[in-house]
C-alpha cells in the first residue's frame, strides 16, 4: 500500500482481531487474521528486505512465528 497510515491502521486492526479471537479460543481464525496482518506491512513497504534494519526483520519473523504457532495450536486442538 502506498499510504503508510492506512496500512498501519489495517495492521493494528488485524492484530486486535487476532487477540480477540485468541481470547475466544478460535486459534485458526486468529492465525488467519495475523497472517492477513502481514500483508499490511507496518514498516515502509517500499524498503527492500536487504535495506531493512535487523530489528524490523526480527519483528516480522516473530510475527510469522506466532502465526505458525497459532495455526499449529488450532490444528492440534482440533485433532481430538
pTM (two decimals): 0.82
> Taking CA 79 as the corner, what is the angle to CA 30 and CA 21, rounded to the nearest 5 degrees?
15
Q: What is the pLDDT of residue 41?
A: 82
Return d(Cα 50, Cα 54) in angstroms, integer. Answer: 9
**CA nearest to 28, candidates 73, 64, 63:** 73
| pLDDT recorded at residue 16 | 95
pLDDT tens digits, one per residue of 5-45: 888 899 999 999 999 999 999 999 999 999 999 888 888 77
Distance from C-alpha of 28 to C-alpha of 73, rounded to nearest angstrom: 8
C-alpha span between 10 and 40 (Å, rounded): 7
Amino acid at each position: 500500500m502506498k499510504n503508510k497510515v492506512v496500512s498501519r491502521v489495517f495492521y493494528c486492526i488485524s492484530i486486535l482481531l487476532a487477540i480477540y479471537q485468541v481470547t475466544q479460543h478460535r486459534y485458526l481464525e486468529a492465525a488467519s487474521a495475523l497472517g492477513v496482518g502481514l500483508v499490511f506491512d507496518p514498516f515502509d513497504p517500499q524498503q527492500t528486505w536487504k535495506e531493512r534494519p535487523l530489528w524490523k526483520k526480527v519483528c516480522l519473523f516473530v510475527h510469522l512465528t506466532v502465526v505458525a504457532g497459532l495455526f499449529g495450536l488450532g490444528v492440534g486442538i482440533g485433532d481430538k
